[in-house]
Amino acid sequence: MILTLKLDVTEKQIQETITKIEELGFKAHTSRGAQRVTLGVIGQNAASYREVFEGYDWIESITLISKPYKLASREWKKSDTVVSVDGLEIGAKRIVVVAGPCAVENSEILLQIAKAVKKAGATILRGGAFKPRTSPYSFQGLGEDGLKMLADARSETGLKIVTEAMSPSQVELVSRYADMLQIGARNMQNYDLLKEVGQAEKPVLLKRGMSATVEELLMSAEYILSQGNKNVVLCERGIRTFETSTRFTLDLNAIPVIKRQSHLPVIVDPSHGTGVRSLVPVMAGAAVAAGADGLLIEVHTEPNRALSDGKQSIYPETLKETIERIRAIAECLGREV
Ligand code: PEP
Ligand code: MN
C-alpha cells in the first residue's frame, strides 16, 4: 500500500506516520521525490489497514499495489531506477558493458583479459572467484585469492568489479573486495542469501533462475529491496526450454515485460543465454534493440584453455566488434555506449 502525502506535510507528521506503520508491524519505505513524499507500507495484508490511514488528514491518497511484488513494481516507483556501481550508472542513457572471464584463473590471465576488455570499451570487469558448478569435480574457483586478483585488476585498470557470492556467509567477504555482488541463476531463490545481500552496502546483480518466471525474478528482487538495498540490477541469462541447439533460450521478451512491470534496470547475458561463441555478438545486438540497459559478456584471451565456459567466451577483438555493433543500434534508440 502506498501513502502519498500532501505537499505541505511536515517532518513531524511524516515521522508520526512511519511510527504508526511500524507499530502495526509493517516496514515503512520512504521515497522523497522532488515535490512529494510517499510512504510504502510493506508487509502481509497491509491493505487491510487502509482505514487506519484514511484518518490522517496529511495523506493525499492511498493506493493499493496489485502485484505480489511491491517495491520492485512500477506502481511503487514510476521513474526508471539508475543504480550506481561506485559512480558508474546502470539504467541511465549509456548502455553498460560488463565483461571478463567466467572464472578468475590466475592473476596474469585476469589482468590480460581486464586490459583487453577495457580497451574494447567495457567498464565493469566480471569474473567468478566462487563458482557454482554443476559437477563437484569441476574447477570451483580460487576463493579469496581470486577476489584479491580482481581488486588488483581494478587498481591496474580502473574497471569496476562484479563477482558472485554463493552463500550468506560469503557476502561480507565478497563485499570487502567487489563493487557489485552477483547472485547467480542457481541462487535466485536462495532467500537467506537474498536477505543477506539486501543488508549489504553494495549494489546487486540478480540473475534470473533458468526455470524462473519473470514474476519469480521480481519476487526475488523484492527480497533484496525489502531489506533496504535499493540498488538491484536484473539480468536475463536464458531459460530452459525444449530447444537443444543452444545451451539455454535467451528470453528477450523478458526485457520489455520487466520494463513494463518494474522500474529496475535490466541487463542481458548472451553468453550463458546461448552457450555458443558465434551467437554472442548478434544476440547482444538483439538485447540492446529490445531495450537492455547493459550486457554481461564472457571474454577470454585463450578461450580454448579456459577453466570454465570457454565455448561461449568470445575473444577481446570480437568484444570490440560487438560494442561497435551495439553502439550503432543504441544510437538509433537515442542511447549511447
Ligand atoms: C556466470 O555468470 O558465470 C554464471 C555461472 O552464470 P549463471 O548463474 O547465470 O549460470
Ligand atoms: Mn560462466
**Per-residue pLDDT at 33:** 85
Mutate to test the pocket of ligand 1, among 113, 139, 164 (most ligand atoms within 8 A of CB): 164
User: Which one, of 173, 197, 172, 169, lies nearest residue 183 by Cα?
Assistant: 197
pLDDT band at 34 (very low <50, low <70, confident <90, very high): confident
Task: Report whether pLDDT(24) > 90.
Answer: yes
Q: Tell me which DSSP letter residue 121 carries.
A: T
Copy the grid coordinates of residue 199.
543488508
Copy the grid coordinates of residue 296.
554481461
High-pLDDT (> 90) share of the chain, %: 96
Do the beta carbons of residue 25 and residue 45 sit within 8 Å? no
Residue 117 and residue 99: Cα distance in Å, rounded? 6
Do the beta carbons of residue 138 and residue 330 sit within 8 Å? no
Distance (Å) from CA 297 to ligand 2 centroid: 9
pLDDT band at 61 (very low <50, low <70, confident <90, very high): very high
CATH of 2-63, one of 3.30.1490.20, 3.30.70.1140, 3.90.78.10, 3.30.70.260: 3.30.70.1140
Q: Once rounded to an integer, what is the mean pLDDT over residues 217-237?
A: 97
302 three-class SS: coil
pLDDT band at 75 (very low <50, low <70, confident <90, very high): very high
User: Which residues face 162 on adjacent strands?
Assistant: 126, 180
Under CATH, which architecture does the 83-332 domain have?
A: Alpha-Beta Barrel (3.20)
Ligand 1 contact, 197 CB (< 6 A): no
Ligand 1 contact, 29 CB (< 6 A): no
Task: Report whether pLDDT(107) > 90.
Answer: yes
Say which residue the cell 557454482 belongs to.
Answer: 132
User: Which residues face 133 on adjacent strands?
Assistant: none
Q: CA–CA distance from 162 to each of 65, 99, 225 (Å)?
A: 33, 10, 19
**Per-residue pLDDT at 5:** 97
Q: What is the pTM of this model?
A: 0.95
Structure confidence by residue, pLDDT tens digits, 157-194: 999 999 999 999 999 999 999 999 999 999 999 999 99
Q: Once rounded to an integer, what is the mean pLDDT over residues 69-76?
A: 94
Each as own residue / partner, the long-range contacts of residues 252-256 (CB below 8 Å, 24 or more positions apart, any chain) are 252/286, 252/287, 252/290, 254/208, 254/214, 254/217, 255/287, 255/290, 255/291, 255/292, 256/290, 256/291
Extended beta strands in the chain, E state: 2-5, 27-32, 37-42, 59-63, 83-85, 88-90, 96-100, 124-126, 160-164, 180-183, 204-207, 232-236, 266-268, 294-298
Ligand 1 contact, 185 CB (< 6 A): yes
User: Which one, of 187, 202, 190, lies nearest residue 237 by Cα?
Assistant: 187
Residue spans per domain, the chain = 2-63, 83-332
Q: Tell me which DSSP letter residue 297 carries.
A: E
Q: Whole-number mean pLDDT of the chain?
A: 97
Tell me which residue has its CA closest to atom 6 in ligand 1: 184
Other Cβ atoms within 10 Å of 35 Cβ, number: 6
**Per-residue pLDDT at 318:** 98
Q: Once rounded to an integer, what is the mean pLDDT over residues 204-209?
A: 98
Ligand nearest to the CA of 309: 2
Copy the grid coordinates of residue 297.
559478456
Dihedral sign, CA of 276, 282, 285, 291? negative
**Per-residue pLDDT at 66:** 87
Task: Report whether pLDDT(221) > 90.
Answer: yes
* Closest ligand 1 atom, residue 128 Cα: 3
Structure confidence by residue, pLDDT tens digits, 118-166: 999 999 999 999 998 899 999 899 999 999 999 999 999 999 999 999 9
Ligand 1 contact, 184 CB (< 6 A): yes
Structure confidence by residue, pLDDT tens digits, 300-337: 999 999 999 999 999 999 999 999 999 999 999 999 99
Distance (Å) from CA 11 to ligand 1 centroid: 45
Tell me which residue has its CA closest to atom 1 in ligand 1: 102
Tell me which residue has its CA closest to atom 10 in ligand 1: 185
Ligand nearest to the CA of 303: 2
CA atoms within 13 A on the CB side of 248: 22
| Residues whose CB falls within 8 Å of the CB of residue 288, separated by 6 or more in sequence, listed in order | 95, 295, 326, 329, 330, 333, 335
